[in-house]
Amino acid sequence: MKKILTRLVIALCTLSLTSVAIAQEKTESPAGKPYVYKTSAGKERKMEIFFPPNHDPAKSKVPGIILFHGGGWSGGTLDQFRVACAYFASRGLVCATAEYQMLGKGAKKLPAGESKKRVCVTDAKTAIRWFKKNAAELGIDPARIITGGGSAGGHISALATMNPGLNDPTDPKDIDTKVVAYLWFNPAFAPDDNKDPEIDVLTHMKADLPPAISFFGDKDEWKKGWDTAYQKWNTLGVNSIALHIAEGQKHSFFNKDPWRTITLIEADKFLVKNGLLTGEPTLKMPGTGEKLTPAP
């Protein structure tokens, strides 16, 4: 009986610690104000928006950021960039993170030459247009929109702004998806995307790429696809990409500290350099010694 009671106490303590951990995680990643930006495939698509303290849309028009979560084009949640959005909002920007349609394993087989990634890009284009269309209500400058994302979200943000196609026919035709900068957290550019040119970054590259910052772990298997894209941009004469490498890190390293804080600080500096923020980062570098290495 004594052993059973001991095990019960241990189990209850474990459950309590788990509950605390979950509560801490929720406190760490508060949700932004929810908006529905469209309905696709019969489901409402939402974005969460984070506003600067005391932000008055009638008096202030600040740059806006819209970030897209990763998840292999078939998963993931808005939680991935809540911390980033809350941070950049505290720095004076209006920040959004948007979900999008995803075709999971149960989806019908697609026609030859098409990819499940198409629907993601289409919804991302709508999200960017909605963000611009509602600029006055949100207090943002539609001419100073930044986008980006992590992994699949990084890919989606690139295609949503580079590919003139894959538009939702209900989108306003007078609003474009152009942006002034990119924040890319190990964007997933796959070599086999060339099977469907609509979602192939290499197909839609141009020499006038806006300033971009990209973060990769040197052990990331997705880095091969990035390296190919990076090389082509260099061939086109693009010199606006700031690439930073995390030594010894694999895919999605940026999702947890200390790397999350480190990448946000570097992204902050990048935005300041490009006139989209002012001042110094309010986050402090972790004392554990990890550092990003700028690519030559």
133-186 pLDDT, tens per residue? 999 999 999 999 999 999 999 999 999 999 999 999 999 999 999 999 999 999
Percent of the chain with pLDDT over 70: 88
Q: Tell me, what's the pLDDT at 217?
A: 98
Q: Tell me, what's the pLDDT at 106?
A: 57
Q: Write the Ramachandran bin of 162: left for phi over 0, alpha for psi from -120 to 50, otherwise beta.
A: alpha
Q: What is the DSSP code (8-state) at residue 291?
A: -
Residue 4 has pLDDT above 60, yes or no: no
Counting Cβ atoms within 10 Å, is residue 286 exposed (0-12), middle (13-18) or buried (19+)? middle
Q: Which residues contact 115 (CB under 8 A, 6 or more apart)?
A: 193, 195, 196, 198, 199
81-123 pLDDT, tens per residue? 999 999 999 999 999 999 999 987 656 666 666 779 999 999 9
Residue 232 has pLDDT above 90, yes or no: yes
242-286 pLDDT, tens per residue? 999 999 999 999 999 999 999 999 999 999 999 999 999 999 999
Task: Give the class (CATH, top level) of 32-294.
Answer: alpha beta
CA gap 187, 88 in Å, rounded: 20
Q: For the chain, how long is the longest CA-to-CA vector?
A: 75
Residue with tokens 């890319």: 184
Looking at every residue in the chain, the average pLDDT score rounds to: 90
pTM exceeds 0.95: no
Residue of 290, 225, 222 whose CA lies nearest to 252? 222
Question: Residue 164 has which token pair?
Answer: 């003139």
